[in-house]
Amino acid sequence: MEKSIEEINTRIRDGNARVVSAEEMPDIVAELGEEEALREVDVVTTGTFGAMCSTGAFLNFGHADPPIRMERVWLNDVEAYSGLAAVDAYMGAASESTTQGNAYGGAHVIEDFVSGRPVEVRAISKGTDCYPRRTVTTTLLLEDLNDAVMVNPRNSFQCYDAATNMTERVIHTYMGMLLPHTGNVSFSGAGALSPLANDPAYRVIGSGVPIFLGGTQGMVVGQGTQSSPATGFANLMTTGNLKEMSPEFLRAATFTGYGVTMYVGVGVPIPVVDLDVVRSTAVRDEEIMTNIVDYGTPHRERPAIARVSYADLKSGKVEIDGEEVRTSSLSSYRKAREIAETIRTWVEAGSMELSLPTRRFNAAKRTRPMRETKVVPRVREIMDTKVVAVAEDEPIRTAAAKLLKGETNHLPVLNGEGQLVGIVTTYDVTKAVGSTRELTVVRDIMTRKVVRTTPEEAVDVAAQKLERHNISALPVVDPAHRVIGMLSAIDLGKLLGGRWQL
């Protein structure tokens, strides 16, 4: 048996459609069986509300008098992209204020607009014959704009890796604050309520399909950028009229140490047209699996350290290596439910009709990494291979003499096996001289916790280490902890001063 979309829409118009949420569907299917569920249920509603950096709006300001071609434009000091026609700009949610940093950004501008607050618009231009004006400053409300169209390149991921941190310091990421030593796990997405989790083969979600977006009815434009359905990470490009949206479902946010983002509410009503849809919407949290990955690894391929289900993640704790680790979400399950509920009321009231995709997604699409034509320089290429070191049981005088020769300001300290056990700087020696304690050998004054690098580490990562620890040199060690070089801020500076800018 199949059910046509016309049949479903007729029921919606007549007020007879049976609408259930994706949370209720599994039990209904279990109770009635697939055939009966197909007959009974017409629409399954989904929803998700989480951080979606890839969000923004096209704004049309109208013409000033005399007119200006707005070449660069700032809204409340947040720059919008204006490489478009004369009085249009795209305000990206993640763009940050030139004056307030990440306390205020594009997402906040958008939230201010939808909340009815005034926004200061500033633009500059070089002036042309047709657009003679060179600057303009005005204060606008959302209603003053001709158009404000939200277009989000990628929203509503099918699934997302959960994050943890195996390093020894707190890290700040777009997955939130991650405590050291696998101290917590954070995850994103609504699990079985997530739109794409209910249609993983993209049979009914595609271009032109009506959706809930930011509190109003929008639609799917197409497959989102970086969508990778072949690996279970599909997403949607969405659009909707910003003027109809509400701050209930569109909220600016800042992840400390990362930046500005926007929480967006997205929901898709799924027409139950055949048994395949019945089966795909019967999915439970227990069946949706994801990896917990280590965000402390500064590489594109982050190691997966556990595989868990959304049911595990939502339970508040998971087990990693025999230890219980607390989990928590970044996206709001409560809001996701509210979205699914809102769609239900729309469909039941006959104010939202459904349609099948005018264009299907490519389910075989797979995201590729960037093709890099210039390889990131490695520490090996710029390190100083001439290493002046000192043994831990040598007198401090020896260290002082080596430092005084002026070839280095950082002396790696080695044990009997030639392995790195500490570091000594001019400062340590000076301090030792002033100390009242009995200090005789290098071991007594060295710093034991040495921040180090490896020959294969990318120089950007090494540069970050220097900055974070506020130091100026790193010993380069091989797997046997022998020092094979030194990397100093000066070496990095030479490199970064040229083609690299951090």
**171 beta partners:** 178
Q: How many residues bind other proteins (CB under 8 A)?
A: 28
Query: Is residue 173 left, alpha or beta, with left meaning phi > 0 and alpha meaning psi from -120 to 50?
Result: beta
Question: Is residue 179 involved in binding other proteins (CB under 8 A)?
Answer: yes
**381 beta partners:** none
**405 beta partners:** none
Q: Where are the beta strands (DSSP E) in 392-492?
A: 410-414, 420-425, 473-477, 483-488
Q: Which is nearer to other proteins, 50 or 296 (CB)?
A: 50
Q: Which is nearer to other proteins, 215 or 485 (CB)?
A: 215
Interface with other proteins by CB under 8 A: which range of 113-121, 221-229, 246-254, 377-385? 246-254
CB of 265 to other proteins, least distance (A): 10
On whether the CB atoms of residues 215 and 245 are closer than 8 A, the answer is yes
Task: Give dist(CA 463, CA 465) in Å, integer.
Answer: 5
Q: Which is nearer to other proteins, 115 or 297 (CB)?
A: 115
Taking alpha carbons only, the member of 332, 302, 341, 296 closest to residue 314 is 332
CB of 114 to other proteins, least distance (A): 15
The question of whether 53 is a catalytic residue gets the answer no
Going residue by residue from 349 to 368, which x/- string records binding to other proteins, judged by CB under 8 A? --------------------
Read off the tokens for 28.
């209904």
Interface with other proteins by CB under 8 A: which range of 178-186, 213-221, 440-448, 453-461? 178-186
Q: Which is nearer to other proteins, 235 or 261 (CB)?
A: 261
Read off the tokens for 329.
């979400």
Active site residue: 1, 14, 31, 130, which one? 130
Scored b (16 or more CB within 10 A) or e, 80-99 reads bbbeeebbbbbbbbbbbbee
Question: Is residue 185 involved in binding other proteins (CB under 8 A)?
Answer: yes
Task: Give dist(CA 474, CA 488) in Å, integer.
Answer: 6
Q: Is 117 helix (H, G, I), strand (E, B) or coil?
A: coil
Read off the tokens for 20.
């259930």
CB of 288 to other proteins, least distance (A): 17
On whether the CB atoms of residues 305 and 178 are closer than 8 A, the answer is no
Question: Is residue 212 involved in binding other proteins (CB under 8 A)?
Answer: no
Q: Where are the beta strands (DSSP E) in 231-315?
A: 236-241, 250-255, 259-267, 269-271, 289-294, 304-309
CB of 27 to other proteins, least distance (A): 17
Interface with other proteins by CB under 8 A: which range of 34-42, 65-73, 247-255, 356-364? 247-255
Give me the amino acid identity at 89.
Answer: A
Among 254, 362, 398, 426, binds other proteins (CB under 8 A): 254
Q: Which is nearer to other proteins, 251 or 402 (CB)?
A: 251
Q: Which is nearer to other proteins, 233 or 333 (CB)?
A: 333
Question: Is residue 186 involved in binding other proteins (CB under 8 A)?
Answer: yes
Interface with other proteins by CB under 8 A: which range of 122-130, 222-230, 248-256, 366-374? 248-256
Going residue by residue from 46 to 65, which x/- string records binding to other proteins, judged by CB under 8 A? ---xxx--------------
Among 233, 263, 310, 346, binds other proteins (CB under 8 A): 263
CB of 308 to other proteins, least distance (A): 14
On whether the CB atoms of residues 236 and 196 are closer than 8 A, the answer is yes
Among 253, 340, 421, 483, binds other proteins (CB under 8 A): 253
* DSSP state, residue 30: H
Q: Which parts of 277-336 interact with other proteins (CB under 8 A)?
A: 316, 326-335
Q: Which parts of 84-103 interact with other proteins (CB under 8 A)?
A: none
Give me the amino acid identity at 93.
Answer: A
Among 11, 203, 337, 410, binds other proteins (CB under 8 A): 337
On whether the CB atoms of residues 202 and 268 are closer than 8 A, the answer is no
Read off the tokens for 405.
């020769």
Taking alpha carbons only, the member of 257, 327, 251, 263 closest to residue 292 is 327
φ and ψ at residue 374, rounded to 5 degrees: -115, 125
CB of 330 to other proteins, least distance (A): 5
Active site residues: 130
> What does the binding site for other proteins look like in residue numbers (CB under 8 A)?
49-51, 176-177, 179, 184-186, 251, 253-256, 261, 263, 316, 326-335, 337
